[in-house]
Amino acid sequence: MAAKLSILVSMVTLTNTSYQQIGRAFFPIPINFNTSSPSNDTGSFTFSTSFVFSIVPEFPDLGGHGITFIITPSMELKGDIASQYLGLFNITSNGLSSNHVFAVKLDTIKSPEFNDIDGNHVGIDVNSLKSYASASASYYSDRERDNKTLKLISGKVIQLWIDYDQKEMLLNVTAAPLRTPKPWLPLLSARLDLSTTLLEPMYVGFSASTGSMSSDQYILGWSFNITTKGFKGKELLGIGSFGEVYKGILPSSNEEVAVKRVFHSSKQGMKEFIAEIASMGSLRHRNLVQLLGYCRRQGELLLVYDFIANGSLDKFLFINEKRSLDWSQRIQILKGVASALVYLHEEWDQVVIHRDIKASNVLLDAQLNGRLRDFGLAKFYDHGSNPQTTRHRRPFEPGRPSEEIILVDWVLEFWKTGMILQMSDPRLEGEYVVEEMELILKLGLLWANPAPETRPSMRKVVQYLDGM
């Protein structure tokens, strides 16, 4: 799954009372739609945009030519002219497939040369101002179950939604007055394949123009979202109790990310989603997995994180038969996680108790540094307060074999008999520093002591580890 890019923009003035004027506004970073990316074997992407606009004409029924939402290979459209060409093309370039321009226009003057249906319409344009599909500006009233006319140059505030799904090759354009919920019935719905129109990369934004009459043409708010590929099984990194984690790519930068997709039916997943946002959003440490963003769309909860190349520690310790970790690498991972816990316990604005430290929640980056993740069960306390501390071990889960014993008890028995080194990982084949191994195992026993007051602080643990 390639991650979602989201853009939020506030008010922009495209044109004012000047004549024969072109005004444009673009998001300054080009976007990769991944229509031809080797990694996008399906060529599938979706985008949606919503913007709020107002057109205030020079005279009550006479003004400029209108506004277009555009996706174009360049912010500099060569040879473009104002008036009916809307700052997109000229008489020579209009209609050329080499333009690679997609637009949705809000046209306020009828231009017969482009077969315009009237002087108040919305059109879907591909490389040409002769619309692929168009309709007189209106919206469907869900309450009255009837179409209502929208006057584009009324000076009133109007919202427009554009939704495209490349897999379905379906484009929907929907309009409504501001504060009216998005109608379920779109104004325009067209089958359209944009895979050959959208190049890599493309710019998204707006163009507007005036002619012999002028208008103040405003974009009062704008959001744009793109998701490529969708969730594919081969991109699945792992499955947890409350969701799935996929590998993704940010379209704006081609940066690899991990996307956690919370299960629809999981109430606990919703709690974890909120907890992750509340905690990870402001935590910054080299040994924590960074939360990059989040969203809730169409009932789905998505969390976007740094992509950590080597996956989770448990795969190296328990699953990966071909590759293990040597002693120095294991010490490095321990030091990294301990450093992250010192930050959480002592150095951040509040005390953060992770409450779910385990090998599967430690990720290894390209240099095999440990990075702690998954704050869905975390608790927050003010410094100086007395957080509730675990005083007992979790009982056996129902259905677990009765002969299984608790690991801590097992290590403790070997320590009591002076044979604690027998608990070292056999995959190390004895390749470790004996004193360091003894220290690590004894620290583990101290960390798990039933009496909280005897447990060393994480800062003390770091001091022990740094002294090795």
Q: Binding site for ATP: residue ranges? A: 260
**β pairing state of 300-306 and 351-353:** unpaired
Gap between the Cα atoms of 253 and 258, Å rounded: 14
| Rg of the chain (C-alpha set) | 30
- Please say whether the beta carbons of 259 and 48 come within 8 A: no
Gap between the Cα atoms of 385 and 447, Å rounded: 21
**β pairing state of 203-209 and 66-72:** antiparallel
Q: Which residues are part of a known binding site?
A: 260
Q: How far is CA 47 from CA 80, 167, 226, 372, in A?
A: 26, 11, 4, 33
What are the tokens at 301? Answer: 């909860």
Q: Which of 165, 314, 326, 356 is the catalytic position?
A: 356
Q: Phi and psi at residue 297, in whole multiples of 5°?
A: -140, 130
What are the tokens at 389? Answer: 């501390």
356 is catalytic: yes
- Please say whether the beta carbons of 187 and 180 come within 8 A: no
For the chain, how far is it from start to end, CA to CA, in angstroms? 43
Which residues are known to be catalytic? 356
